[in-house]
Structure 1
């Protein structure tokens, strides 16, 4: 595959990329480019192995994974902890490689089976032009779900958090756009574009399992976690269906099951968000090695003191 041209020189007033960011960007380009010579399945497996055995330990993911597992599953056997510590960064590397694989990834996953019972409601909304908020999690690879639903005529816009490494971010956004567009940056301009797309009867994809500094404290896997209400608030404001959607990786490492759950009934934002948390929690407990345990999901998880 080809990659977009390097980003233009930094504009006046903006710092040039650091040597670390340049190195990270070039290293990722070399790894992705070199493995491009391999057949698709072997390519994804190779990059998954590199993520599990090299990138994960070097990036210091294992202590964070262990700390989160100790909080949520303190009785987990040591053997299982070690397995999850390897598999989590491996899954993250596979997902990144799949995003950059473009058409190869699309061809491989487009016929993935769909489960969960929510597809008929989604297709009815598609045909009626009703807005839909699709909510997912950092589990498996949600891009697989996007491919499958787009093949069924669903127009889906995504939103992403811009990375600190501007050079790599430019290539990553281009790769996401090759899988499906539009995609919007998570900033004021991007949010405006996303909501405009939704108001026209489109579907938007949001991720529900981030730590949010100003989120509400809600139970997630038995511990309080700061959680944004925005997915539910958007659905309520715009009369949109709120539908949990996931791409669950299969034991072969490259295939997926796409899970489209029943729409969450409109009540109030807090109640709907608790239902989203419960949906994510169930999938995580069934697929412990596919969720991003390296994320600091439970930081600052005590009530703030009154001013």
Structure 2
């Protein structure tokens, strides 16, 4: 009788151990197939069957890393042990209680289930409520994207001054500046200083009409640009911020076909100009 009692006790302990490993079985999903699917997904009672009733706040990146084919060890490494009395070895499903913080405050509580195939590889995953899975799609906005976008650089202010109003005929030096031309440049300097917080650069481009040779027109346009630069520098614009170029007759604004020279010169007046571009914060 004593031997029989010992045998009975061992058998009872073994059965109890199996129950601990496999869990109560009252919430096991129905019809779990060899490939890890269930004909009916059943979630356990979070209040009655969970050993960790308070659940956890999972790492979202770990949750996003969960994928079909993972072993129990891999799933355990990402999510921790299951929160219900299902055991770790033989059960074909693991259940969790997860909490997620809402953007506007408060907490959402969800249940999460992994179902394993016959080789104990996780294959299908389920949420209760089903919409809880949307939290995985709501990736946090990277810090770089949360920062305000850098404002695009402001377009340069462009001022065009007619060369005929700046210089005497065929002139290009400071001595050739007309009184009206000096007034225009003084007004330009005052406008720049009052309306531009910091001048990053000033680009001055001289242009001529098509009368005369290319070489002459290139030299004349550059000489006039240099004169305007010298005037602006004398008025207080930093010399290192000023760039000059001469484009001669290469960028006309108008095309003229008059045969009389005087009429042709008048028609070509818009092509004889100095363009000033101011780069900086306004």
TM-score, normalised relative to structure 1? 0.20
- Structure (1 or 2) with the greater strand fraction: 2
TM-score, normalised relative to structure 2? 0.21
- Structure (1 or 2) with the greater helix fraction: 1
The structure with higher relative contact order (CA 8 Å, sep 6+) is: 1
